[in-house]
Amino acid sequence: MQNITVLGSTGSIGTSTLDVVARHPDKYRITALTANRQVDLLFRQCVQFKPAFAVLLDEVSVSQLRAQLVDAGLKTEVLCGVDALEAVCVLPEVDAVMAAIVGAAGLRPTLAAARAGKKILLANKETLVMAGNVFMDAVRKSGSALLPIDSEHNAIFQALPRGYDGDMAGNGVRRILLTASGGPFRNTPINELQHVTPDQACAHPNWSMGRKISVDSASMMNKGLEVIEAHWLFNAPANDIQVVIHPQSVIHSLVEYVDGSVIAQLGNPDMRTPIAYGLAYPERIDSGVAALDLFKVATLSFDEPDFGRFPCLALAYQALRTSGTAPAILNAANEIAVAAFLDEQISFLSIPRVIESVLNELPAHLVTCLDDVLGADTDARRAAKQQISKLIK
């Protein structure tokens, strides 16, 4: 029986995780659930899974949830704040942590889980993008098991040799092929992108995701962040990570070997597949995902990404090659720019312009500890807001 903390239980990854867990009550028990402000959904999850702890990030939401739980006769203890997120990750009884909080907010609790030696199911991109060396050092020192949950990195993990140790050459690996759907604007004329709306950007053709990550997919910043993730997860240099646009989202990623073999992982676009793989590794369990019908799919197509159409992808490669705090600066500037776009303050095409300006303005420094990352994050957010203010004027 694995005891699990789910960080971000009300998001798309969190709800998919709970769907898989509910299918295997003999294997998994929920110890803690955390959310931002979705009190009613978190309450329903507490009723179903009866966790020992629930965490919210503001006192008003905490009071509301506590009242609901008392009325329902449940004994779940409700905690508040970022420190509580960390606390429910390091509980002695917790075996695994699903890290599914979107954005920089997920960094501290995920790092705490790594330092505590927990099995980490990593669905939070920013942990590796912002603090890859700090996080990976913590994983190595504690002996924590790290299992990637992003469908692409999970696919790569499955296609690499069992026990892969980060030595690409020693394992006969030539390069990693990271697939991307291309998002909703893959074929939109570039001159029309200036006028796209947040709703259009969030209308992903294959995946159901939150609004921030949907915009990242539309700009392909999401794939750029995944390139940086892949670098840290698999010790792969930027030149050995190739992004491949694959609109059907059936092949989730591939690994090319020096003998000419290319091994791919295929499946329906449903996050329950990588979640189930991470939960049960090295075994496999039913995820509830329908079997892939190759006859229905019929055709698989592939294209090389156009950096002119997707400048965010180029900026992510640039930040990876610069290294140090550059990826943290990239991530923070992107979060601020996307939020401004969703609030209809700036245009879609202004997102990469804001990010590029911030990357040019702030020098990258070496990362020796978490404070280096958090400082760069703060500076980049301030600089991005200043750039946005200029655009609004």
- Fold (CATH) for 2-148: Rossmann fold (3.40.50)
Percent of the chain with pLDDT over 90: 79
Mean pLDDT in residue range 67-79: 93
What six digits make up the tokens of 101? 């909080």
H/E segment holding residue 257: strand 251-257
Write the single-letter amino acid at 8: G
**Could you tell me where the DSSP H helices lie in 143-220?**
151-159, 198-201, 211-219
Query: What is the per-residue pLDDT for 208?
Result: 59
Domain 323-393 is of which CATH architecture? Orthogonal Bundle (1.10)
Residue 195, Cβ neighbours under 10 Å: how many?
A: 10
Whether 207 has a pLDDT exceeding 80, the answer reads no
- The first and second tokens of residue 39, run together, are 């009190």
Q: What is the mean pLDDT of residues 324-329?
A: 96
Sequence-separated (6 or more) residues with CB below 8 Å from residue 40: none
Contact 194, 349 (CB under 8 A): yes
Place of tokens 């509910």: 22
Q: Looking at residues 103-114, what average pLDDT do you find?
A: 88
273, with CB counted inside 10 A (0-12, 13-18, 19+), is buried
Domain ranges for the chain? 2-148, 150-268+291-310, 323-393
- What's the one-letter identity of residue 34? T
User: How high is the pLDDT of residue 24?
Assistant: 97
Q: In what order do the strands lie in the sheet with 262-266?
A: 241-245, 173-180, 251-257, 262-266
pLDDT at 204: 62
| Residue 168 near residue 156, CB atoms below 8 Å | no
pLDDT interval class at 393 (50, 70, 90): low
How far is 285 from 24, CA to CA, in rounded Å? 9
Q: Is the pLDDT of residue 39 over 60?
A: yes
- Which one is predicted more confidently, 390 or 325? 325
Nearest residue to 5 (alpha-carbon basis) of 52, 43, 69:
52
